[in-house]
Amino acid sequence: MKVAIVKYNAGNVQSLTFALNRLGISPTLTSDKEELASADKVIFPGQGEASSAMRSLESNGLTSVLKGLKQPFLGVCLGMQLMCEFSEENQTKCLGILPIKVQKFESAELKVPHMGWNTITDLKGQSFKGIKENDYMYFVHSYYVPISVYTIAQCNYGVDFSTAIHHRNFYAIQPHPEKSADAGMKFLDNFLKL
CATH number, domain with residue 121: 3.40.50.880
CA 142/CA 114 separation, integer angstroms: 6
CA 12/CA 53 separation, integer angstroms: 13
Is 77 an active-site residue? yes
Is 176 an active-site residue? yes
DSSP state letter for 154: E
Domain count, the chain: 1
User: Choosing from 114, 141, 166, 176, which is the catalytic residue?
Assistant: 176
The pLDDT value recorded for residue 160 is 98
The pLDDT value recorded for residue 64 is 96
Local confidence pLDDT in tens for the 194 residues of the chain: 999 999 998 777 999 999 999 999 999 999 999 999 999 999 999 888 999 999 999 999 999 999 999 999 999 999 999 999 999 999 999 999 999 999 999 988 999 999 999 999 999 999 999 999 999 999 999 999 999 999 999 999 999 999 999 999 999 999 999 999 999 999 999 999 99
The pLDDT value recorded for residue 127 is 97
User: Choosing from 77, 84, 94, 155, which is the catalytic residue?
Assistant: 77
CA 46/CA 6 separation, integer angstroms: 9
CA 25/CA 6 separation, integer angstroms: 15
pTM over 0.85: yes
Is 94 an active-site residue? no
Count CB neighbours of 108 within 10 A: 5
The pLDDT value recorded for residue 148 is 98
CA 54/CA 57 separation, integer angstroms: 5
Domain region containing 166: 3-192
Count CB neighbours of 126 within 10 A: 13
The pLDDT value recorded for residue 184 is 98
CA dihedral 146, 151, 155, 159 (to 10 degrees): 20
Rounded to 10°, the helix 13-22/181-192 angle is 70
The pLDDT value recorded for residue 11 is 75
Show Cβ contacts of residue 9 under 8 Å, excluding neighbours closer than 6 positions: 56
The pLDDT value recorded for residue 152 is 98
The answer to whether 5 touches 25, Cβ cutoff 8 Å, is: no
User: Choosing from 94, 141, 166, 178, which is the catalytic residue?
Assistant: 178
